[in-house]
């Protein structure tokens, strides 16, 4: 039961896979499509790649064989698409999660970590930084579906003894986040400035986000899966806020070129300000947060290398 299963090998899941392999315990992976990055595929344990949907009981049973920890990194639609079709997002997000939760009732010793959205689940919070005990009042469909997932996990914890941990992650950025998909301001800014393409800037750029490097999220996930502390919800972020316009200026400085900007109106589902209280995280695990400038540099270096490999 020493194996870890990573469910979902997209942006965040790929970092969790790499972190586990770096610590000497290559994981098994259950994902809908083959990992695109060769180095991520190589980090999966031999014979441990399970291609399919977690909602498929047979595929899931094979993936869970001998597993003692599950890092659930799968999701549904991206935020803008979730606003357009919230019912489809709920279907894509909830059914695989429910399947995993049902399967874990027969595996009471398995530890389970769920990657949630601390950037959206608090809505426009009552205070900053937002604490884990503050109300979860999402204003977006994306945040609402993550809250629904959290509620189902909490019910399993109370009623069936699930050894669960919810990680409410702030705005995650870094390598393997594809630009121009409607999620990820940093990678989109870097990519478009590099190519000389126009950037659509929604609102006046004053929105505040807590940007956390994906490698830090992966390290937190692995450490919290190993922790015996029973605390069910933990914020994972940098614990500091940065305005969107300041992030844009940092991306310009990194690339060495000014951005071409097209101003757009503010979107109603966007949170105005969010910064996470990360005191609980740092009490539970030792974690050095990557400075934003350094994380932007690493992300840009990956984008340049990925473009050269195409």
Specify the CATH number for the domain of residue 75.
3.40.50.720
Predicted confidence at residue 170, as pLDDT, reads 98
Which residue range(s) make up the domain with 117?
3-173+211-237
Contacts of 136 (CB under 8 A, 6+ apart): 121, 122, 123, 147, 150
In a domain, 60, yes or no: yes
Predicted confidence at residue 80, as pLDDT, reads 85
In a domain, 130, yes or no: yes
3-7/67-72 β-pairing: parallel
In a domain, 200, yes or no: no
Beta bridge partners of 79: none
CB-based contact 248:186 (threshold 8 Å): no
In a domain, 105, yes or no: yes
How is the beta sheet containing 233-236 ordered, strand by strand? 49-51, 28-31, 3-7, 67-72, 111-117, 163-169, 233-236
In a domain, 278, yes or no: no
Mean pLDDT split into 10-residue runs, the chain, 310 residues = 92 98 97 94 96 96 97 92 94 97 97 97 95 97 97 98 98 93 88 94 91 98 96 98 97 97 86 96 98 98 83
Closest CA to 66 of 53, 81, 47, 85: 47
Contacts of 289 (CB under 8 A, 6+ apart): 212, 213, 216, 238, 239
Predicted confidence at residue 46, as pLDDT, reads 93
Predicted confidence at residue 268, as pLDDT, reads 83
In a domain, 97, yes or no: yes
In a domain, 29, yes or no: yes
Written as six digits, the tokens of 138 are 């999402």
Domains of the chain: total: 1
In a domain, 151, yes or no: yes
Predicted confidence at residue 310, as pLDDT, reads 59
């Amino acid at each position: 039961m020493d194996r870890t299963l990573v469910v979902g090998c997209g942006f965040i899941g790929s970092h969790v896979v790499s972190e586990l392999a770096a610590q000497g315990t290559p994981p098994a992976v259950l994902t809908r499509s083959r990992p695109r990055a060769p180095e991520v595929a190589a980090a999966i344990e031999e014979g441990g790649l399970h291609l399919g949907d977690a909602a498929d009981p047979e595929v899931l049973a094979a993936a869970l064989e001998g597993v003692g920890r599950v890092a659930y990194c799968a999701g549904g639609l991206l935020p803008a698409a979730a606003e357009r079709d919230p019912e489809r997002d709920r279907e894509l997000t909830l059914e695989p999660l429910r399947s995993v939760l049902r399967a874990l009732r027969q595996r009471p010793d398995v530890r389970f970590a769920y990657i949630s959205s601390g950037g959206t689940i608090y809505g426009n919070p009552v205070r900053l930084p937002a604490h884990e005990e503050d109300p979860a009042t999402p204003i977006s469909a994306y945040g609402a579906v993550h809250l629904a997932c959290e509620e189902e996990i909490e019910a399993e914890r109370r009623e069936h003894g699930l050894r669960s941990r919810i990680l409410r992650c702030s705005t995650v950025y870094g390598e393997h986040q594809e630009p121009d998909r409607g999620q990820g301001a940093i990678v989109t800014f870097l990519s478009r400035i590099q190519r000389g393409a126009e950037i659509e800037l929604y609102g006046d750029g004053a929105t505040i986000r807590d940007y956390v490097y994906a490698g830090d999220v992966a390290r937190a996930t692995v450490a919290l899966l190993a922790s015996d502390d029973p605390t069910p919800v933990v914020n994972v972020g940098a614990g500091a806020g940065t305005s969107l316009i300041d992030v844009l200026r940092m991306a310009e400085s990194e690339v060495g070129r000014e951005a071409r900007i097209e101003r757009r109106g503010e979107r109603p589902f966007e949170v105005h300000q969010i910064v996470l209280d990360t005191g609980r995280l740092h009490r539970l695990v030792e974690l050095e947060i990557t400075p934003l400038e350094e994380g932007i540099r690493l992300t840009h270096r990956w984008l340049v290398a990925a473009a050269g490999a195409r």
